[in-house]
Amino acid sequence: MTYDVIVIGLGGMGSAAAYRLAQRGKRVLGLEKFTPAHALGSSHGGSRITRQAYFEDPAYVPLLLRAHEMWDQIERDSGERIFHRVGGIIVGDPDSGAITGSRASVEQFGLEHELLGASQLRERFPALRPAHDEIGLYEPGAGFVVPETSVAAHLALARRAGADLRFEEPVTHWEPGRVTTSRGTYEAGHVVLCPGPWAPELLGDLRIPFEIERQVQFYFTPAEPFAGYPIYIWDRADGTSFYGFPEHDGAVKVAFHHGGEICTPETIDRTVHAHEVEAIVTATRSPMPGLAGTFQRAATCMYTNTADRDFVIARHPEHDGVTVACGFSGHGFKFVPVVGEILADLAIDGATRHSIALFDPARLHRP
């Protein structure tokens, strides 16, 4: 069977790529190892932060400006609500990396924001109890997206545009122009790989030392109201940095960012242990004492980390007919729609108008 493009992996990035390619009239085959919008990779958990006050690097901001436009478009086209604009607050010491980096981004791009002192934070958001020397950067345009709804919406739109999507069909081998699965062999002019935590397995020839990190998402019934609150990232001086969300679907969600066990998709421990719940309760007890009221549940996911925590998005350096998107390092989902657009550009035209030099895999090659 012959297609214009085969997309391997139909999670956040792959589903968006399949849609954008099919929307441009390409004959697309999408292949997924599991069921649609599954909970075994990195595109689940009910909520993912999106913001433009980007402390990681101001170079990401133009992509985020485009992504926010595209979330609105996807909602219109699919009829699904994906983006919840609830605002966002980043809290930390004035000299912390999260605060200084966020200020650099908002000032460079003129993003709407407010700087709030500790007393202002407590007055506006009573559930937050910052230390006297902590400040907050509030971004009214931030919020969260629902990953499962995003994946489902992009898949539905891809199928509507003519894409052939196949699930529970793992890829056993790929090469430029040809992909073999558990069910057969397919040919295409181009292959797009969005493998998530399976990147070490499927993209070994990139010679990039990806690190797969187990993360845990915790859900609580709060002891005080959190409805109507913004998303938050708390960069604490003691190293216990965490992020979380307002009440959504009957729970508040909170998690640490990085610091998880190194694993593989096959060896990850899917059981969440009592000491892990106690760790997040302890970390949030002082700054947000009403958050971790009654524990409801927890879920694991995986980060696919690069050494510098920046993405890999490029034409494959050794195969002109192959494009890759991986290594999103725990902060990628907010970029889903614009990454889909970039991947379609690269697959069809070999270039994109978006600035992606930061994501060149050559920077990470091991000898």
The reported pLDDT for the residue numbered 227 is 87
C-alpha radius of gyration, the chain, whole number = 20
For the segment 237-250, the average pLDDT, to the nearest whole number, is 90
For the segment 194-222, the average pLDDT, to the nearest whole number, is 97
Among 175, 251, 202, 277, smallest CA distance to 41 is for 202
Q: What is the pLDDT of residues 252-289, one digit of tens each?
A: 999 999 999 999 999 999 999 999 999 999 999 999 99
Rounded to two decimals, what is the model's pTM? 0.97
Is 198 strand, coil or helix? Answer: helix
Assess whether pLDDT exceeds 80 at residue 239.
Answer: no
Q: Which contiguous run of DSSP H or E holds residue 192?
A: strand 185-193
Distance of CA 16 to the CA centre of its chain: 13
Assess whether pLDDT exceeds 80 at residue 367.
Answer: no
Dihedral pair phi/psi, residue 172, rounded to 5°: -100, -20
Bridge partners (DSSP) of residue 278 are none
Assess whether pLDDT exceeds 80 at residue 229.
Answer: yes
Work out whether strand 88-92 and strand 48-50 pair parallel, antiparallel, or are unpaired: unpaired
Q: Which contiguous run of DSSP H or E holds residue 153?
A: helix 147-160
- The pLDDT > 90 percentage for the chain reads 96
A 10 A CB-CB count for 103 gives 17
Assess whether pLDDT exceeds 90 at residue 365.
Answer: no
- DSSP secondary structure, 3-19, as one string: EEEEEE--SHHHHHHHH
Instruction: Give me the chain's average pLDDT, please.
Output: 97
Alpha-helical segments (H) within 166-228: 199-202
Beta-carbon contacts of 76 under 8 Å, excluding residues fewer than 6 positions away, are none
The reported pLDDT for the residue numbered 100 is 97
Selected residue with higher pLDDT from 237 and 275: 275
The domains found in the chain, sorted by start residue, are 3-46+147-210+308-364 (3.50.50.60), 48-145+211-305 (3.30.9.10)
